Homo-oligomer: A and B are copies of this chain.
Amino acid sequence: MARLRAALVGAGRAGAVHAGNLADYAGRAELAAVVDERREAAEVLAERFGVTAFADLEQALEGVDAVVITAPTFTHRDLAVRAAEAGKHVFCEKPMALTIAECDEMIAAAERAGVVLQIGFMRRFQPEFAEARRRIEGGDLGVPMVIKSLTRGPGLPPPWAWDIERSNGMLAEVNSHDFDCVRWLAGAEIERVYAEVAHFKGRERGVDAADFYDSAVVSLRFASGAIGTIDGTCPADYGYDARVEVVCSDGLLVVGDLRGTAILEVRDRDVGTVTPLHRTWPDRFRDAYRAEMRAFVESALSGEAPAVTGADGRAAVAAVRAANRSWREGRPVAPAEEAPA
């Protein structure tokens, strides 16, 4: 197979990013169809890339080799299992699913079908994050002692995500990346989490869900003895912000910054030095999204294991659910309570 033909399910914002990256990789990949139960959305995106729109995955499966899932989290399990059972490789956006049971079904379906299942933790592909991991593995900095990761974004989560039962909340929709990232950089599983949450801005934007939170801090203990924190705020009007800091026994690693590009504009004495910042995640992680889709294409074409597995997706779901339980029950919780090995 020289080129991978893919159907994309979910014609939202992430869908448009992945569709563009598939089309841009025309030498190795081909976007063949766009699926969305919101028929009109599917058609708009499909037309942009000159492909066919469908309202249901079934109709799009014929003639494609892979399915890229960018629909809401609660649809992931069903879509991924159907795609795998039809023998298609699966790329699934984060969070992988809502429960550990769903994750397990997806992993089992991919294994039975012998297809690739890659989860969309694209930060692993961002050059500076990848470099950080390489340096830690290289060992020059000693062992990780304290790992801190944060994500803040300008947009309110979509209404279906306000209900935590249905979405696992902001910690899932926004901070899944952090849970994956700290585990990946620590080189160790998360053993215990403790969460505090707050709700400041959602209400003024019309969120009416009883237990909605828009800010969270999570304390972490890793199996290696390292400790850490994750924090998230969404909406955080000021921009899209994703940073990691690792205190190692022989040095410090800082990844990411507040500056979007290297232009400094000093408007006048009353404003100060102004640097553009990242406004959105497609802007902040443009390189990463491009690289993760190319990695998926190569993995599917070659049959080699994907860089981010179902087990990685499952571990993040377990940590998120443990953090939500910690907050609700006011006590530290082990992800293993959620996901017995």
Interface of A with B (CB < 8 Å)?
Answer: 23-27, 127-128, 131-132, 135, 140-141, 143, 145-146, 148, 152, 154, 192, 194-201, 214-221, 225-229, 231, 233, 236-239, 241, 247, 249-269, 271-277, 279, 330-332
Could you say how many copies of this chain the assembly holds? 4
With A217-B146, A247-B233 as given contacts, are A271 and B274 in contact (CB-CB < 8 Å)? yes
With A217-B228, A231-B146 as given contacts, are A267 and B238 in contact (CB-CB < 8 Å)? yes
Q: How far is the CA of A215 from the CA of B200 in the complex (A)?
A: 31
Which of B225, B262, B272, B276 meets A198, CB within 8 Å? B225
Judge whether A251 and B263 touch: CB under 8 Å.
no
Which of B216, B239, B263, B331 meets A269, CB within 8 Å? B239
- Which residue of B is nearest A152, CB measured? B247
- What are 5 inter-chain pairs, A to B, with CB distance below 8 A? A192-B196, A195-B219, A217-B220, A252-B266, A271-B274
Q: How far is the CA of A220 from the CA of B217 in the complex (A)?
A: 8
With A250-B268, A258-B266 as given contacts, are A145 and B215 in contact (CB-CB < 8 Å)? yes
- Which residue of B is nearest A213, CB measured? B227
Point out the residues of chain B lying under 8 angstroms from A275, CB to CB.
272-275
- Which residue of B is nearest A244, CB measured? B263
Which of B200, B256, B276 meets A272, CB within 8 Å? B276
Point out the residues of chain B lying under 8 angstroms from A194, CB to CB.
194, 196, 219, 332
Q: How far is the CA of A332 from the CA of B231 in the complex (A)?
A: 18
Judge whether A128 and B196 touch: CB under 8 Å.
no
Q: How far is the CA of A194 from the CA of B215 in the complex (A)?
A: 17
Q: How far is the CB of A50 from chain B (nearest CB, A)?
A: 10
